[in-house]
Structure 1
Amino acid sequence: MADAREGWACATQGRLVQEFCDRSGVPYVVFQATRGRNAVAERADFSAALAQSPLPGAELVAGLQAADWNQALRSLAVAVPDDRPSIAVIDEVPWLVERDREFEGALQTVWDRHLSVKPVLLILVGSDMSVMEALRSYGRPFFGRATKMTVRPLHLADVRAMTRLDAADAVDALLITGGFPEIVQSWRPGMGRTDFLREAVANPLSPLLVAGELSLLGEFPEASHARAVLEAVGRGERTFSAIAAQAGGAGALPSGTLSPLLHTLQTKRILATDLPLSTKADTKNKRYRIADPYLRFWLAFLRRAIPLIERGRGDLALERIERSWTTWRGRAVEPIIRESLLPPAPR
């Protein structure tokens, strides 16, 4: 079971899984769910993916119209071989669970009765970490049947190696790209921060600009309260009252609306909180921030600059970044330094 730190990371995660399958030398099937699609259409696509896969038993399930997920997953058990290894990937599992709660129970039943006795590696992928972790929790059907793997963005050392920058400039590169491989790859080796940004804001389709919108649209519609809260925090609001005032528009968001939104965004690892250093717990003075460095940069500088960039005035967007860069960086770098000072987790 693999999960990603946030939505944009899932594209990298999917690429890694595909590369793993291609290099494995064994037959495999990859199915990717579509958000918001009804369960009947998803099962039809799942059956079609099986029938078109190189799995030895694919022809045995061709044309199958599964009435439920139990039947659809049993067809997977028919398609995978008994005598040699194979791989089955189900991508964006949270979206399947969201649309059809039957999926979890069906997966557990088919795994226990049919798939677990075969030499098949079942990989479940999802970008919503809270949902993926819940699937493995006590009381859920798949409890005790999966091993977790979290795919994280590139480490600072990796960013430095790819960009060939000195230590200080590599930190800047991490703050801007978040360590996401596709964005880091667009940073030509040895290129300075300003030159990279100048090149990125000259192209409305550059990975630096596109990734943020894709990440948010995948989880939060533009008109949603959650999106408004994220944009308020991205603009620099850190306290509960300031976020409520900014996100509410004409009037502040009521506490009964904002509190569960903040809780959900923290559960999804999109927001993080910092507490005052004290001998006593002080939750009243907590400060909120965007957890991911790239999304923090995108919301602070690029979200509002997209109309300018689309009109060919990336130069104005760059000027705004340069004016605020030193101040913004001073605060944005703190979580990275704090995390780097933490002792490594025991193995």
Structure 2
Amino acid sequence: MQKFYNREKEMDTLRRISKNISDHKGQLSVMIGRRRVGKTRLLSEAFIDQDIKYLYLFISRKTERSLVAEFAEIIRNELGAKFFKPQSLKDIFEYLLDYSKNEPLTVIVDEFQDIQRVNSSLFSDIQNLWDTNKQTSMMHLVCCGSLYNMMTKIFKGQDEPLLNRDDRFFKIKPLQPTYIRSVIADHSKFTAENMLEWWCLSGGIPKYLEWLANFANESGNIFDSIISDFSPFIKEGTHRLVEDFGSEHRIYFDILGAISQGHTSRSRIENYLGLGVGVHLEKLEDDFDSITKMRPMTSKETSRDVRYSISDPFLKFWFRFIHANKSAVEMENYEYIRNHIDRDFETYSGLELESLFQAILAESKQFGRMGSYWDAKGHNEIDIVAINDLDKQVLIVEVKRQQKKYNETKLIEKSHGLLKKLKLSGYNVTYRGFSLDNLVEVMDEFLS
């Protein structure tokens, strides 16, 4: 099994809740995070080889009868309930709550939001059972899901039966740059160029880092391995998104494809596709956590000066180079795709270097506000503006692939309008050029 990185705080908290469940009685933890981010692995690492009895129940998209049969078999095997014959998922939860009145038990329900597809009334059943038994059952119930908006709605929506029933709410995010660096270094592959490549190809998603680590042991260009027969990268975008998007997946794929090709405003996306996409953009941002809405640092939340970006660096790469060449994928013409990458990846990754530096500054915890800036005409673009209001510090950054292309005089000139709008009297302003040439030094400076 691959080495497990980070997540110590989450593991410690989960274990502590389960180990103290006899004293505190019923505890409900909610865990959310996009697919492949490592939620299931985290839960396994938290409870395996610990003196904690736990069950893992996965809500696959089966009929309720099939799930009941599957879970009943798990319960019979793990808890010794030889004669347990439930008729519904409600019976399953009721039995486990009764069992935990005598024995401490941790129950993990993975892809919890998919209960909606199996039997939507079960949310009300769980609420009634939980409210009735919480004070007497020694159960740590962990509800895990990959659709952020749905999981948040289930537990925070005003009209939802499970409103505020959670005692802990974990949001599992991709690994930060420090840990990506550790993964690369553990495979003796760390260089600034590799750090940028692995960022573009993984965005810190543990499963993708695992794949890259496996490919790193092969000789030659890493793209020769990931763009090839049997590479999991080829179909990953489709596998990861089609289930979430459902019957409308084609329009969502078209929108993400348009954004990946540089059509980043709503008007440009609609002109490119020839149809209205307002509702779909809203769902991609709120329901699926697939895109990020970006505004200039100085604009208000109501500003229409909005650009969209694909949230996950891996999906950004996948749509830019693999989905865009789906005909070549169907023909298994991987050499054609590799040639496309050879031609464009240097320019593409130069743009992605900006998001890597933003992630580094975010991980440093030195700033309370961060974003980008462009003026009303879309000019005078500034890559990174990071503000520390406590220490009255402003960091203004230009990102270039090569340090020699950084021009501080131009950056200062471009910043006049920004600083005028920010009205940060008495703040110390620092101008910096970040590049691939000083990536390692910047990481050491901000993350040491």
- Superposition TM-score tier, normalisation by shorter sequence: 0.7 to 0.9
| Cα distance, 1:39–1:244 mapped onto 2, change above 3 Å | farther
Q: Based on CA coordinates, which of the two structures has the bigger radius of gyration?
A: 2
Tell whether the 8 Å contact from 2:176 to 2:359 is kept in structure 1 after alignment.
Answer: no
Tell whether the 8 Å contact from 1:2 to 1:151 is kept in structure 2 after alignment.
Answer: no
Tell whether the 8 Å contact from 1:178 to 1:294 is kept in structure 2 after alignment.
Answer: yes
Deviates more, 1:146-155 or 1:287-296: 146-155
SS in 1 for 2:340: helix
Tell whether the 8 Å contact from 2:31 to 2:142 is kept in structure 1 after alignment.
Answer: no
Match of 2:82 in 1: 59
Q: Do residues 219 (structure 1) and 247 (structure 2) align?
A: no
Tell whether the 8 Å contact from 1:13 to 1:151 is kept in structure 2 after alignment.
Answer: yes
Match of 2:266 in 1: 240
Match of 2:234 in 1: 209
Tell whether the 8 Å contact from 2:290 to 2:312 is kept in structure 1 after alignment.
Answer: yes
Distance 2:32 2:330 in 1: 30
Match of 2:138 in 1: 119
Distance 2:149 2:136 in 1: 29
| Cα distance, 1:223–1:161 mapped onto 2, change above 3 Å | closer
The structure in which a higher percent of residues are strand is 2
SS in 2 for 1:174: helix
Tell whether the 8 Å contact from 1:55 to 1:81 is kept in structure 2 after alignment.
Answer: no
Q: Do residues 148 (structure 1) and 169 (structure 2) align?
A: yes
Tell whether the 8 Å contact from 2:33 to 2:145 is kept in structure 1 after alignment.
Answer: no
1:263 to 282, 285, 294: 282
Tell whether the 8 Å contact from 1:8 to 1:214 is kept in structure 2 after alignment.
Answer: no
TM-score, normalising length: structure 1: 0.83
SS in 1 for 2:201: helix
Q: Do residues 132 (structure 1) and 155 (structure 2) align?
A: no
| Cα distance, 1:274–1:191 mapped onto 2, change above 3 Å | farther
Aligned-pair identity in percent equals 19
Residue 282 of structure 1 deviates from its aligned partner by 6.3
RMSD of equivalent CA atoms: 2.8
Q: Do residues 182 (structure 1) and 204 (structure 2) align?
A: no
Match of 1:70 in 2: 90
- The within-5 A match list for 1:1-347 is 1-9=29-37, 12-35=38-61, 37-52=62-77, 54-56=78-80, 58-61=81-84, 63-66=85-88, 69-78=89-98, 80-137=99-156, 139=158, 140-146=160-166, 147-164=168-185, 165-188=190-213, 195-203=221-229, 205-221=230-246, 224-247=250-273, 252-254=274-276, 258-267=277-286, 268-278=288-298, 283-305=303-325, 307-309=327-329, 311-342=331-362, 344=365
Tell whether the 8 Å contact from 2:90 to 2:125 is kept in structure 1 after alignment.
Answer: yes
Structure 1 spans left out of the alignment, 5+ residues: none
| Cα distance, 1:180–1:207 mapped onto 2, change above 3 Å | farther
Tell whether the 8 Å contact from 1:156 to 1:171 is kept in structure 2 after alignment.
Answer: no
Distance 1:277 1:295 in 2: 25
Residue 158 of structure 1 deviates from its aligned partner by 1.4
Tell whether the 8 Å contact from 2:292 to 2:310 is kept in structure 1 after alignment.
Answer: yes
Greater RCO structure (CA 8 Å; 6+ sep) = 1
For residue 86 of structure 1, what is the amino acid of its counterpart? L
1:11-31 deviations in whole A, cap 9, x for unaligned?
x32233234333233332221
| Cα distance, 1:193–1:103 mapped onto 2, change above 3 Å | farther
SS in 1 for 2:338: helix
For residue 182 of structure 2, what is the amino acid of its counterpart? A
| Cα distance, 1:217–1:296 mapped onto 2, change above 3 Å | same
Tell whether the 8 Å contact from 1:270 to 1:292 is kept in structure 2 after alignment.
Answer: yes
Aligned positions, number? 329
